[in-house]
């Protein structure tokens, strides 16, 4: 996912650990750490509670990160006990600094785009779609972990990082008839463009329209917010998601993004 108001926006998350030179404290693997160097800063965010991976995120105000900042993020993650540091979705230009620091490609992502007005999203009465407040965040993180698995699922801190990636955000849950949460999605808007930031349906509820319904609810939110164009990215190997987006009218874009990873042995 890409780079907008912040690098998380296209579904990407660039996490960085910021070691503060003046105020030192003992960072744990449960903290988000901000690493600052001059005007640049990045955050290192734990992926989820059960994993030893963290993600580096940077902000729009930060141009391409310096080699030194990325090295400090790596050092910080390693010293906190993380065994892996990942980036969010990066374009070619942004990858250089990480590749120089020894990161390798973890996954490749297809960018898809659509005109909001042209998407085909039939209503699905099986689920109820509602905006979710912060009281729902723990349940959303649980659903995320269930949908993406331990290796890629977001915990609360990552979820909050996604929510803060764009100036405008909608978080929508899909609820079954008993009020159980079956899935959720995060949509963002920045500079007139809409983004599908996260889309997750728990395995037990799949293939019954919850995913396309969530997409439809997000598109309705975008239409109400005068958003004309919407972007999403997903792994080249994620056939369910690619089918879902293509079937509803998204078109493949030539850009391929990558997430990178560094093992912190
Ligand atoms: C992708 C995901 C959100 C789809 O949710 P869902 O509720 O199962 O999707 P729907 O039932 O609305 O399916 C809509 C269409 O998507 C496609 N699709 C969904 N699951 C599929 C699968 N396992 N294989 C192939 N196509 C699939 C189909 O075109 C389907 O239409 P159809 O059932 O009429 O053939 C869900 O599989 C998921 O959470 N996956 C893990 C997380 C993830 O990859 N999120 C997207 C990241 S961008």
Q: Could you report the per-residue pLDDT of 139-161, keeping only the tens digit for each?
A: 999 999 999 999 999 999 999 99
With a Cβ cut-off of 6 Å, ligand 1 is lined by 147-148, 199-201, 206-212, 234, 238-241, 243-244, 247
Q: Compute the distance from residue 211 Cα to the ligand 1 centre, in Å.
A: 6
Q: What is the mean pLDDT of residues 157-177?
A: 96
Mutate to test the pocket of ligand 1, among 148, 241, 248, 252 (most ligand atoms within 8 A of CB): 241
Q: What is the mean pLDDT of residues 134-139?
A: 97
Q: Compute the distance from residue 233 Cα to the ligand 1 centre, in Å.
A: 14
Q: Could you report the per-residue pLDDT of 22-31, keeping only the tens digit for each?
A: 344 555 667 8
Classify residue 229 as exposed, middle or buried by CB count within 10 Å of its CB (0-12, 13-18, 19+): middle
Given this model, what pLDDT does residue 13 score? 32
Ligand 1 atom showing the smallest separation from residue 206 Cα: 8
Q: How many residues does the chain have?
A: 265
Classify residue 122 as exposed, middle or buried by CB count within 10 Å of its CB (0-12, 13-18, 19+): exposed
Q: What mean pLDDT is reported for the chain?
A: 88
210 Cβ neighbours under 8 A, 6+ residues apart: 124, 126, 127, 174, 182, 183, 201
Given this model, what pLDDT does residue 14 score? 31
Given this model, what pLDDT does residue 35 score? 93
Q: Within its chain, how far is the Cα of 250 from the centroid?
A: 19
Provide the pLDDT confidence category of residue 177 given band limits of 50, 70 and 90: very high
Res. 12: pLDDT tops 50? no
Provide the pLDDT confidence category of residue 189 given band limits of 50, 70 and 90: very high
Res. 8: pLDDT tops 60? no
Q: Could you report the per-residue pLDDT of 252-263, keeping only the tens digit for each?
A: 999 999 999 999
Domain boundaries, the chain: 113-256
Residue 149 tokens read as 């698995």
Res. 206: pLDDT tops 60? yes
Mutate to test the pocket of ligand 1, among 107, 172, 240 (most ligand atoms within 8 A of CB): 240
Compare 52 and 63 and report the one with higher pLDDT.
52
Going by alpha carbons, the residue nearest to atom 21 of ligand 1 is 240
Q: SS3 of 44, please?
A: strand
Given this model, what pLDDT does residue 39 score? 85
Q: Which CATH number fits domain 113-256: 3.30.70.20, 1.20.1300.10, 3.40.190.10, 3.40.630.30?
A: 3.40.630.30
Compare 10 and 70 and report the one with higher pLDDT.
70
Provide the pLDDT confidence category of residue 58 given band limits of 50, 70 and 90: confident
> CA 13, 18, 19: angle at the middle one, nearest 5?
160
Rounded to whole angstroms, how far apart are CA atoms 126 and 255?
36
Q: What is the mean pLDDT of residues 100-123?
A: 95
Q: What is the mean pLDDT of residues 163-178?
A: 96
Q: Could you report the per-residue pLDDT of 229-243, keeping only the tens digit for each?
A: 999 999 999 999 999
Going by alpha carbons, the residue nearest to atom 24 of ligand 1 is 240
Query: Structure pTM?
Result: 0.91
């Amino acid at each position: 996912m890409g780079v907008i108001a912040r690098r998380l926006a296209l579904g990407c998350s660039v996490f960085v650990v910021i070691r503060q030179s003046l105020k030192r404290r003992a960072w744990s693997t449960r903290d988000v750490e901000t690493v600052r160097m001059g005007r640049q800063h990045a955050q290192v965010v734990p992926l989820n509670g059960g994993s030893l991976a963290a993600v580096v995120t940077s902000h729009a105000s930060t141009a391409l990160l310096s080699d030194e900042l990325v090295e400090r993020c790596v050092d910080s993650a390693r010293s906190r006990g993380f065994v892996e540091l990942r980036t969010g979705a990066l374009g070619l230009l942004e990858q250089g600094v990480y590749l120089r620091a020894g990161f390798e490609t973890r996954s490749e992502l297809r960018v898809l785009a659509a005109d909001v007005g042209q998407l085909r999203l039939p209503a699905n009465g099986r689920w109820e779609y509602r905006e979710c407040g912060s009281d729902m965040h723990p349940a959303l993180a649980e659903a995320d972990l269930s949908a993406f698995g331990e290796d890629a699922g977001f915990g609360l801190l990552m979820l909050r990082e996604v929510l803060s990636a764009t100036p405008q955000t909608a978080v929508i849950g899909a609820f079954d008839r008993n009020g159980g949460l079956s899935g959720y999605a995060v949509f963002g808007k920045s500079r007139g463009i809409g983004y599908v930031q996260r889309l997750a349906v728990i395995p037990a509820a799949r293939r019954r329209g919850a995913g396309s319904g969530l997409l439809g609810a997000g598109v309705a939110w975008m239409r109400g917010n005068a958003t004309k164009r919407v972007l999403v990215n997903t792994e080249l190997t994620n056939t369910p998601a690619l089918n879902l987006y293509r079937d509803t009218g998204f078109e493949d874009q030539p850009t391929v993004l990558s997430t990178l990873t560094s093992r912190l042995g």
